Amino acid sequence: MIESVSRRAFSSSSGTYNVRASELARERKLNIFNVTVQFLDETQHSFQIEKKAKGSVLLEQVYQHLELVEKDYFGLQFTENGSPPNATNTEITRWLDGSKSVKKQVGTNAQFWLAVRFYPPEPSRLAEEYTRYLLCLQLRKLLLDGTMAAPKSTALLLASFTVQAELGDYNVSEHPPNYLSEMCLLPKQTAEDERKIRELHKLHKGQAPADAEANFLEHAKRLDCYGVESHPAKDYHGKDIFIGVTSIGIVVFQNNIRVNTFSWSKIVKISFKKKQFFIQLKREPSESYDTVLGFNMRSGRAAKALWRCSVERHGFFRLRAPRRRPLLGALGALAGLGAPRVPRTETQALHDARRSRSSNTSFVRRSSSRVRERSEGANGANSVNGANGAGGAASPGAALALRGARVTGCAEPPPRAAWTHDAAANDDDDGGFLERALRVPLSYVDESESSEGGSGAGVCEAEGGGGAGPEEAGGEGGDEVCVRLAAGPDGRFGFNVRGGGGAPVLVSRVAPRRPQLQEGDQVISINGTDVDDLTHEQVVQLIRNTRGILTLVVKPNAVYEPEDGGLEEPAVCFVPLAADAGQLEGDALQQSMLLLGDGLASGAALKQYETLLRRLPDEPSLVSKLPHNLNKNRYRDIAPYDSTRVVLQNGPTGDYINASYINMEIPNSDLVLTYIATQGPLASTVGDFWQMVWESESSLIVMLTVLAERGRAKCHQYWPKVGTSLKATNTLTVNTNSEQNLGHYTRREMTLKDAGGGTRAVTQLQYTAWPDHGVPEDSTAFIAFTALCAHLRTHRAVIPTVVEESNGEERLLDPPMIVHCSAGVGRTGALILAETAIELLSRRQPLYPLDLVRAMRTQRPMCIQNASQYKFVCESIQTAYARGLTKAPSENGGD
């Protein structure tokens, strides 16, 4: 009926109302879910999503709002009670899951915090300057709230880079003495800290914000806890530990010390069951058993969280593309618990960022809200890196509105290179001031060495520094990319290489604002010449000889794919804890080495080491605390026991010296390895040291330190230069006859003369490859050096000393080897342990390093100071055993 009504019936005297459309609009409005996201620069923004929307929808809105290109490294955090995430509430902090509903994950508490989820192992690989800026903001937060610990010297240096990035160059007229008091740079910041940061800030003159941030990240990435997401757990002794997940694998911390690392390449499977988390390690060719490590978590929920975290980081950093969900995954319980997947991997993220590098323009930093001027580069132009262009200052409101957005048209002069091979050359201040006064290291160069094998491995020193921009970059078949670079005014192309001689040629360092190359890129050819068969020197020369455009074919960011499939997880099987007959094949030495290997793999060896007493409570050190002896100790807490201290007969300042006798008996033999472990001489104890050398009849001194490390004096130079003499005491004179630099150690031949006419030839071996903090990178070189010390000990024309034993018998002891580092306990104990182990290996005696350390500490406290030193020596012993160094030292070569 209504169809037949004329249209005129609905003229101006009539009307319509769309009820359904209004209802739909009302329903849409009711389904809107408001969420608030706080960004890393402390600003906030509200987003609207549908109540049924998944996390990926909100994440994409956040990324678009920030115009974030390298978005895969970031995520959104929330807490169960709505409080901001920090170091104290990690148990209730969660990551937003992009595959699940936002509403179901957070409930009514719609507050999120943007945070870095995956920390790039090499921040310089990041193509976007903006991404590096956000990463710096995240790391500063972690350092301030205590989530990420750093040595004081490193924390001061990082704070100085923060000041440079936010305030620009130090200017006396702009920066009064207390200009840092309003900035929160360190936890529990003191006036002395601010003074040191101010002096460091002066040394960064000329660095643009991007360069200061690049230096910040270069030092921060070397911290043990960089990029570690920690999960509290307990070991099998019930001690508290933290299991961390990083880009390289799974690490274990105890007492804030990294005690074990399990790289992804060594892990076969990770799993959890109830409250336990398991790691199955790859079986070595020489092993007949599988190793499965178990850790007790606080709850089943915590075990699952650690498992998910491990799976996600392995998938992101190690895979080329996300693994496909199994066909039976939709069947739920029938297929078992499905492993979480990341939307994309780092390989895909870097590839996409490489393709979009042309959009990498300037942006507004947090510091742009400050009204200030600063020196930009060498030309001295005054500008503010803000929205108003050169010479302008953005208002706080404008900065808030534009924060995080790209800003074009900001002319910025070329910055000072963040890395240079002669940083001090460009400084107005004396770079040595930092070492002398602040005792803080300042480095702009790549201090790491190549991990690749082959004689051609190394760092291409010729190619460091900044260069000109790229000519073009395009695909050239498969995964290979063609990159063309123009040399800068200094003739350099802005990158370093390592490898060659059989090892892959990799890019090892890239200057800032050189985004077309990334660290880890494998160089396939240079100017049309394949580099597969070239040595490192030939690769470097090929680059140096290039005039004009350098054409490279590179394979971007080579990532090793894990093996698919694999055997099912076996039953837990460890090496037996007892050496009973029939349990293991082989002799007692082989059994002890198997136990050592298992202990290092499981972490049990380091845990047992931590239980050792550092000093015996019933052994006093009273003589060292006498008023006239206090200044003879380099460190207050390291002093010899009274029962084993070296007593000088004719000491120039008394009978006390901070030195201990250590005798290491070799079982089933008459051999006793004799040592004097002592501290590095002070300027005031040089005479006491040489008097000890003379009275002990020793002819071999082993020095395990350099004179100064990290700006701190570690040992006074107690020997004269070649061809000169030193009057050590009223009766002793020292002459240095020769000095040879032999790579990782220096050998000096000296003559010690007494006023009575006696003389003695003394050899000093100074090992220079052991840093003050850390351990040497080459265990083979350390074992060779230790074998040399043992060889020189047994080839000395000396007269043994007759010693009366407690049972009334007499025993002949060779004169001791004098060993010292700085304190005379850490590296000194390591060498004593290594030489004793080599002697045991040569006699095919069972070897238990823990017992040897215990024996040392009964004679001098704190021998082998920390777990990293103990682990290094144990691994060196394994290397010596694996290479068949079981012959007597004299049979393994001369000196």
Cα distances (Å, whole numbers) of residue 382 to 15, 373, 374: 67, 6, 6
Is 677 a member of any domain? yes
CATH assignment at residue 70: 3.10.20.90
Other Cβ atoms less than 10 A from the Cβ of 84: the count is: 12
Is 89 a member of any domain? yes
Q: Which of 555, 573, 591 is the last residue of a domain?
A: 573
pLDDT over threshold 70, residue 467: no
Between the ranges 118-127, 415-424, 782-791, where is the mean pLDDT highest?
A: 782-791
d(CA 255, CA 147): 14
Q: 3-class SS at 556?
A: coil
Is 133 a member of any domain? no
pLDDT at 564: 35
For residues 431 and 457, the answer to whether their CB atoms sit within 8 Å is no
| Backbone torsions φ then ψ of 487, nearest 5 degrees | -70, 150
Name the more confident of 278 and 510: 278
Band of the pLDDT at 497, cuts 50, 70, 90? Answer: confident
Q: How far is CA 326 from the centre of its chain?
A: 37
pLDDT at 629: 93
Q: What is the residue-wise DSSP string for 812-881?
A: EEPPPEEEE-SSSSHHHHHHHHHHHHHHHHHTT----HHHHHHHHHTTSTTSS-SHHHHHHHHHHHHHHH
For residues 115 and 40, the answer to whether their CB atoms sit within 8 Å is yes
DSSP structure class, residue 305: H
DSSP structure class, residue 376: E
pLDDT at 825: 93
pLDDT over threshold 80, residue 445: no
**Percent of the chain, pLDDT > 90?**
23
d(CA 251, CA 261): 4
Q: What is the residue-wise DSSP string for 159-196?
A: HHHHHHHHH-S--TTT--TTTTTTS--STT--HHHHHH
d(CA 782, CA 702): 13
pLDDT over threshold 90, residue 703: yes
CATH assignment at residue 803: 3.90.190.10
* 715 belongs to the catalytic site: no
Q: Which of 5-9, 334-338, 353-357 is predicted least confidently?
A: 334-338
Amino acid letter for position 40: L
- Residues 711 and 851 grouped into a single domain: yes
- Residues 633 and 684 grouped into a single domain: yes
Q: Which of 277, 300, 324 is the last residue of a domain?
A: 324
- Residues 516 and 624 grouped into a single domain: no
Cα distances (Å, whole numbers) of residue 14 to 3, 51, 287, 767: 16, 39, 92, 102
| Backbone torsions φ then ψ of 829, nearest 5 degrees | -65, -35
- Residues 500 and 569 grouped into a single domain: yes
| Backbone torsions φ then ψ of 498, nearest 5 degrees | -140, 165
Is 520 a member of any domain? yes
d(CA 223, CA 245): 14
Task: Read off the pLDDT of residues 793-809 as tens digits, 9 standing for 90 and up.
Answer: 865 444 445 445 545 55
For residues 550 and 543, the answer to whether their CB atoms sit within 8 Å is yes
Q: 3-class SS at 883?
A: coil
- Residues 706 and 840 grouped into a single domain: yes
Overall number of domains in the chain: 4
Q: Which of 136, 821, 863, 874 is catalytic?
A: 821
Is 699 a member of any domain? yes
What stretches of 527-655 adopt beta strand conformation (E)?
Answer: 529-530, 549-555, 645-647
pTM given for the model: 0.49
Band of the pLDDT at 80, cuts 50, 70, 90? Answer: confident
d(CA 277, CA 396): 49
User: What is the bridge-based pairing of β-strands 111-116 and 32-38?
Assistant: parallel
Task: Read off the pLDDT of residues 270-308 as tens digits, 9 standing for 90 and up.
Answer: 888 888 898 888 876 666 666 788 888 888 888 888 998
- pLDDT (mean) for 818-846: 92
Residues 6+ apart with CB under 8 A from 781: 743, 744, 769
| Backbone torsions φ then ψ of 696, nearest 5 degrees | -80, -10
Name the more confident of 590 and 54: 54
d(CA 91, CA 107): 18
Band of the pLDDT at 354, cuts 50, 70, 90? Answer: low
Is 409 a member of any domain? no
**The two three-digit tokens of residue 286, written as one number:** 């020489």
Per the structure, the complete domain to which residue 111 belongs is given by: 24-116
CATH assignment at residue 534: 2.30.42.10
d(CA 719, CA 722): 9
- Residues 643 and 567 grouped into a single domain: no
| Backbone torsions φ then ψ of 6, nearest 5 degrees | -70, 150
